[in-house]
Chains A and B, each alone.
Chain A
Amino acid sequence: MIFPVIVAQGESSMADNGLLESVLRLVEKVDGGTDSQDVAADLGVDHQVIVGAVKSLQALGEVISAEQKSSRHWELTGEGREIAEQGSHEARVFNAIPDEGLPQNQLMKMPSGKVGFSKAMSNKWIRLDKAHEGGPRVFKTVTIEDTVRDKLQLVQKGQSAKLEDKEKNELKKRKLLSEVTVKSYWITKGSSFSTTITKQETELTPEMIASGSWKEKKFKPYNFEAMGVAPDCGHLHPLMKVRTQFRQIFLEMGFTEMPTNNFIESSFWNFDSLFQPQQHPARDQHDTFFISDPALAHEFPQDYLERVKKVHSEGGYGSQGYKYDWKIEEAQKNLLRTHTTAVSARMLYKLAQQKFTPVKYFSIDRVFRNETLDATHLAEFHQIEGVVADYGLTLGNLMGILHQFFTKLGITKLRFKPAYNPYTEPSMEVFSYHEGLKKWVEVGNSGVFRPEMLLPMGLPEGVSVIAWGLSLERPTMIKYGINNIRELVGHKVNLQMVYDSPICRLDS
């Protein structure tokens, strides 16, 4: 729950200043303090009113100190209060009888008639003349004192101590008194005790600032335990916050962003240009989304396409090739790109068409896989990719740049495992030591693009291209502690999670 901090404690039972000052004057008179019940009795007000006054005084700071205590206490029942006000039933019966007496049947019709008659009879306050002419008739015998009423009135005034226990128990038996536990306060002077009340202000106002009156005023203390009011604002999506950080890291490292805004790609750029053979399982219907409309790509750089065909089917550039019949029909098939490396291939081909200059490229964008879905896999996810092309790049350079990249993510302990990837050789899986899990976990994939991919593009012989990739979702799920990817990506997202997610600093 969120409570505004300006609500001061006890405000709801705030009493008026006159009463507060009366209480303070009483407290001033006694050394060692006084009980709130006594204060109530002295001032002749209900105890609850004094409790409210005590709370109000507490809210003013150190004016008083009040310690809660509980005590046994005699209190009038509903009937007891009626008697204290109107007299006991027997007294009421007695008073109702005129000097000339009253017929018994008439007396019995009174509200207190039955009880009052028998009690008054046993007190010998009245006598019954059964043989009276016109029916039995009741007469007063003496003058009376209504002691029951007097006793109850004493209790009502808080002076029950003046009664003997025997008397109180008798009244209790008659259900006129009951013994209750009362919570009261023991009130003593506080460190800044005074018998006058200075009115406390809730908030500083422009008028106070203008007049300088704030200097004389006392302000109600804030409740700092309460939460503040949530600001009215929008929120960035956590995955996109992490994307922003990764972009930032690449930009800090001098990488230029690739145009990955083309989800539809041809098999040629997605596979063939990467020297991925046409019968490779990744090109299967089970793994890749193919497009029925528009089904085929219709434009390729023709001589490059011929060189790709040759290197697949016959080899060349120092390669044995894959020795199979490469078919243009396979290459034409449109698909939803399975990796952003398709765009890297386009960019490297473009780079090869001009005088070579070293480049560093990156992209973070969606890729698509026709895979079985589970708690960590969706049909689409974001791939982060980095590519460096220059003369004479080594495997050691790839590991060095990966070290720098992952250091920016706060990951410094890296090791590399030989792996297989159709378009990179060597290929390395990147592992980092997870302090929580106490084991090495895979954090990315990397490698050096094969000459069979680069040379047909027309890149100079001595140029090496190193590259690495990872998913955006996995580090985000770890960062924000999300176990089911559907709670993060897609329409089933939990908006409260989006509202509540902290800013993203990957290195902390």
Chain B
Amino acid sequence: MPTVSVKRDLLFEALGQKYTDEEFDELCFEFGLELDEITSEKEILIREQGGEKAEGASDVVLYKIDVPANRYDLLCLEGLVRGLQVFKEKLEAPRYKRVSPADGGEPQRLVITEETASVRPHAVAAVLRNITFTQERYESFIELQEKLHQNICRKRTLVAIGTHDLDTISGPFTYTAKPPGEIRFKPLSQSREYTAAELMSLYKTDSHLRHYLHIIENEPLYPIIYDSNGIVLSMPPIINGDHSKISLNTKNIFIECTATDLTKVNRFTLIITVCLFVCFNTFFILFRVEEAEVVYPDGRLSVYPELAYRTETLSGDFINKRVGINESAESIAQLLTRMCLRSEVSGEGDLIQVEIPPTRADVIHACDIMEDAAIAYGFNNIVRSTPRTYTVANQLPVNKLTELLRQDLTAAGFTEALTFALCSEEDIADKLRKNITETRAVHISNPKTADFQVARTSLLPGLLKTIAANRKMPLPLKLFEISDVVLKDETKDVGARNNRRLCAVYYNKSPGFEVIHGLLDRVMQLLDVKPGRNQGYHIQAAEDSTFFPGRCAEIFSCGKSIGHLGVLHPDVISRFELTMPCSAIDIDIEPFL
């Protein structure tokens, strides 16, 4: 969930009202935001770097507000204020539109060459005119760009945004791609020119930029944007040129957005991004959004930004029935308008026409509109009612059996353990004196540590590790677990299945085979299986590398092998850092369903 950090006093000034922290928290809650933290730059510095560094830092109160992941339109102070003001009916939702150049001149143009096809083939552009920055607006502008990069742009992997002082450069602009050695410019915040190859090694140690290098690092060609005089605007998605950097005095801005590959999502995201960016800034920074042309390698020409409004028609009845309220179409239209979705009753029955602004890319279905109506109505004002759905409950047979057996195993003096389903290869193989290839284990491709290499194929390692962690407890230790292991199984759609197992261990100064054997007899008694060769259960001597030779038996029920019991091999005991003899039983309980 993205967090937006805003200065409290600035926020209240923009909202035209002062709130107590509690009141503002309440307003956020109602609107679907969360006032996560009340802090200051000073406090943050003290917490992160200690008191010394914080000296002289600002103690202006900051609100950290969590914004839902789909509401990109609320990612900055301006967006938040607009959303809340419209919600409180203090303001009408703005209408975004773009204009042609004022003096009847040519629009700015970005020409894409075919070299970009291999690395970053998409670009759109827009122009903002007549900007008046203040320090706060400037900061908000920069921060919004960064927030978009982190969220909808997925840390620049999907889209990168570049903003430039238009009065320092001259179009038409060229978006192309060149070998890193042939790109040379002075990047933002540096005092001299570097080649692209030099920049990549320079930024290796940059705490911020190093995270983006991988996006183009291994490409033969790097994307690059020039103006008509060969001045570098940016090398997306890494860094802008220093020449065109925007400042507090900037009056006109050229925006370019570029995207990585040809999937539609990137194109879509790209268009949304530029929309969001230009729209947000219209609130405080009085300016015009001016069109810009983009020329593709195939000669096609598009005009951006696409500030497209869409109209959806739905019935008041639909909303009433889905939410569980009973409001007139007019009142629903009013609710939606408060959510920046301008709505009107169409006059035909209870139909409502809803206009979706370009900033609300998250509204893709009538259910999204329904949700906004419910939010504006207030979730907590909706009458809570019990559905009349009549059903009869059933337990899952394997869970029912598990529940019953657990109870009786504790009655038999064994204590329940709860161990992890993921473990290391070593746990299920080497430590049990097994070969990993014979375990039928499911392997994880991206474990962060060895503890998550495989899904367990036996409950035994978990129980032995539990004993190892509790060696200070009085002996004997008698533990059990009834839970799932995971085994590869070709017959399943995913190629693997769970298997419900019962495993128990007895750890004491003597191996206690008879204790574990007695537990088997008790379990079979509970399962109503009598001792006997054919229809009953029996055990017979077996060799299993986990167990001490001559001290292991295989368990058969109704002629079918269901597991083993025996005294553990001394090597197994030592490998789990244990020191006492230990006997164990491990059986599959699914045959008893």
Q: What residues of chain A have their CB less than 8 Å away from a CB belonging to chain B? A: 232-237, 239-240, 244, 247, 250-266, 277, 279, 281, 285, 289-300, 313, 315, 317-325, 334, 336, 358-360, 366, 368, 370, 378-380, 388, 390, 392-397, 399-401, 403-404, 415-420, 425-428, 440, 448, 450-452, 464, 466, 488-496, 498-499
* Binary flags per residue of B418-441, CB closer than 8 Å to A gives 1, else 0: 111110000000000000000000
Bound-state CA distance A262–B374 (Å) is 36
Provided the pairs A233-B410, A379-B422, A394-B323 are in contact, do residues A496 and B444 lie with their beta carbons within 8 angstroms?
A: no
Contact partner, A237, options B266, B382, B416, Cβ 8 Å:
B416
Closest approach, in angstroms, between the C-beta of A362 and any C-beta of chain B? 9
Contact partner, B367, options A322, A428, A450, A499, Cβ 8 Å:
A450
Q: Is B442 an interface residue (CB 8 A)?
A: yes
Which of B66-74, B93-101, B208-216 lies on the face that meets chain A?
B66-74
Q: Is B184 an interface residue (CB 8 A)?
A: no
Contact partner, B32, options A319, A321, A399, A418, Cβ 8 Å:
A418
Closest approach, in angstroms, between the C-beta of A265 and any C-beta of chain B? 6
Closest approach, in angstroms, between the C-beta of B523 and any C-beta of chain A? 13
Q: Is the beta-carbon distance between B70 and A420 smaller than 8 angstroms?
A: yes
Q: Is the beta-carbon distance between B364 and A256 smaller than 8 angstroms?
A: no
Closest approach, in angstroms, between the C-beta of B403 and any C-beta of chain A? 7
Contact partner, A396, options B325, B364, B416, B488, Cβ 8 Å:
B325
Q: What residues of chain B have their CB less than 8 Å away from a CB belonging to chain A? A: 1, 29, 31-32, 34, 68-71, 154, 158, 263-266, 268, 321-325, 364-368, 370-371, 374-375, 379-380, 382-387, 389-396, 398-399, 403, 406-407, 409-422, 442-448, 451-452, 455, 462, 465-466, 468-470, 473, 477-478, 480, 484, 486, 488, 492-498, 500
Bound-state CA distance A397–B368 (Å) is 18
Q: Is the beta-carbon distance between A290 and B473 smaller than 8 angstroms?
A: no
Q: Is the beta-carbon distance between A491 and B468 smaller than 8 angstroms?
A: yes
Q: Which residues of B contact A313 (CB under 8 A)?
A: 264
Contact partner, B265, options A264, A277, A317, A368, Cβ 8 Å:
A277
Contact partner, B470, options A262, A290, A295, A495, Cβ 8 Å:
A495
Bound-state CA distance A252–B495 (Å) is 36
Closest chain A residue, CB of each to CB of B499:
A261
Bound-state CA distance A299–B496 (Å) is 12
Provided the pairs A334-B495, A420-B70, A426-B374 are in contact, do residues A399 and B382 lie with their beta carbons within 8 angstroms?
A: yes
Give how many A-B residue pairs fall within 8 Å (CB-CB). Answer: 295
Q: Which residues of A contact B386 (CB under 8 A)?
A: 397, 400-401, 404
Bound-state CA distance A277–B374 (Å) is 25
Bound-state CA distance A260–B374 (Å) is 33
Contact partner, B415, options A400, A426, A495, Cβ 8 Å:
A495
Q: Is the beta-carbon distance between A393 and B387 smaller than 8 angstroms?
A: yes
Bound-state CA distance A368–B390 (Å) is 33
Q: Which residues of A contact B364 (CB under 8 A)?
A: 315, 319-322
Q: Is the beta-carbon distance between A254 and B391 smaller than 8 angstroms?
A: yes
Bound-state CA distance A317–B366 (Å) is 10
Q: Which residues of B contact A232 (CB under 8 A)?
A: 413
Closest approach, in angstroms, between the C-beta of A262 and any C-beta of chain B? 6
Bound-state CA distance A489–B417 (Å) is 9
Bound-state CA distance A235–B409 (Å) is 9
Supplied contacts A234-B480, A263-B498, 16 more A-B pairs, CB within 8 Å: A234-B411, A235-B415, A247-B403, A291-B442, A294-B495, A325-B265, A336-B422, A370-B448, A379-B422, A392-B321, A395-B379, A396-B383, A415-B380, A418-B68, A419-B68, A426-B371
Closest chain A residue, CB of each to CB of B461:
A491
Provided the pairs A292-B444, A493-B469 are in contact, do residues A256 and B374 lie with their beta carbons within 8 angstroms?
A: no
Bound-state CA distance A8–B412 (Å) is 33
Closest chain B residue, CB of each to CB of A416:
B379
Q: Which residues of B contact A253 (CB under 8 A)?
A: 393
Bound-state CA distance A254–B495 (Å) is 33
Q: Is the beta-carbon distance between B412 and A234 smaller than 8 angstroms?
A: yes
Q: Which residues of A contact B265 (CB under 8 A)?
A: 277, 279, 322-325
Q: Is the beta-carbon distance between B263 and A325 smaller than 8 angstroms?
A: yes
Nearest first, the 5 closest Cβ-Cβ pairs linking A and B are: A396-B324, A418-B32, A394-B324, A294-B495, A324-B265
Q: Which residues of A contact B394 (CB under 8 A)?
A: 256-257
Q: Which residues of A contact B451 (CB under 8 A)?
A: 379
Closest approach, in angstroms, between the C-beta of A322 and any C-beta of chain B? 7
Provided the pairs A394-B324, A400-B385, A416-B380 are in contact, do residues A294 and B496 lie with their beta carbons within 8 angstroms?
A: yes
Bound-state CA distance A258–B70 (Å) is 30
Q: Is the beta-carbon distance between B466 and A448 smaller than 8 angstroms?
A: no
Contact partner, B322, options A250, A251, A395, A489, Cβ 8 Å:
A395
Could you jot down 25 A-B contacts, CB within 8 Å? A234-B410, A234-B412, A234-B415, A235-B410, A247-B403, A251-B393, A254-B393, A264-B497, A323-B265, A324-B265, A324-B266, A324-B268, A334-B494, A359-B391, A379-B420, A394-B323, A399-B382, A399-B384, A420-B68, A425-B365, A425-B367, A451-B365, A451-B366, A491-B417, A499-B415
Q: Which residues of B contact A415 (CB under 8 A)?
A: 29, 379-380
Closest approach, in angstroms, between the C-beta of A247 and any C-beta of chain B? 7
Bound-state CA distance A281–B2 (Å) is 13
Q: Which residues of A contact B268 (CB under 8 A)?
A: 322-324
Provided the pairs A395-B374, A418-B375 are in contact, do residues A293 and B417 lie with their beta carbons within 8 angstroms?
A: no
Contact partner, B389, options A239, A293, A388, A448, Cβ 8 Å:
A388
Bound-state CA distance A325–B365 (Å) is 19
Q: Is the beta-carbon distance between B324 and A417 smaller than 8 angstroms?
A: no
Provided the pairs A264-B496, A394-B324 are in contact, do residues A255 and B422 lie with their beta carbons within 8 angstroms?
A: no
Bound-state CA distance A255–B367 (Å) is 26
Provided the pairs A233-B411, A495-B473 are in contact, do residues A396 and B393 lie with their beta carbons within 8 angstroms?
A: no
Provided the pairs A336-B455, A417-B29, A495-B415 are in contact, do residues A292 and B445 lie with their beta carbons within 8 angstroms?
A: yes
Closest chain B residue, CB of each to CB of A250:
B393
Contact partner, A394, options B321, B366, B466, B473, Cβ 8 Å:
B321
> Which one of B265, B266, B395 has the highest number of Cβ atoms from chain A below 10 Å of its Cβ?
B265
Q: Which residues of B contact A318 (CB under 8 A)?
A: 365-366
Q: Which residues of A contact B444 (CB under 8 A)?
A: 289-292, 336
Q: Which residues of A contact B365 (CB under 8 A)?
A: 317-320, 425, 450-452
Q: Which residues of B contact A281 (CB under 8 A)?
A: 154
Contact partner, A495, options B322, B403, B466, Cβ 8 Å:
B466
Closest approach, in angstroms, between the C-beta of B8 and any C-beta of chain A? 20
Closest approach, in angstroms, between the C-beta of B500 and any C-beta of chain A? 7
Q: Is the beta-carbon distance between B323 and A255 smaller than 8 angstroms?
A: no
Closest approach, in angstroms, between the C-beta of A99 and any C-beta of chain B? 78
Q: Which residues of B contact A426 (CB under 8 A)?
A: 367, 370-371, 374-375, 379
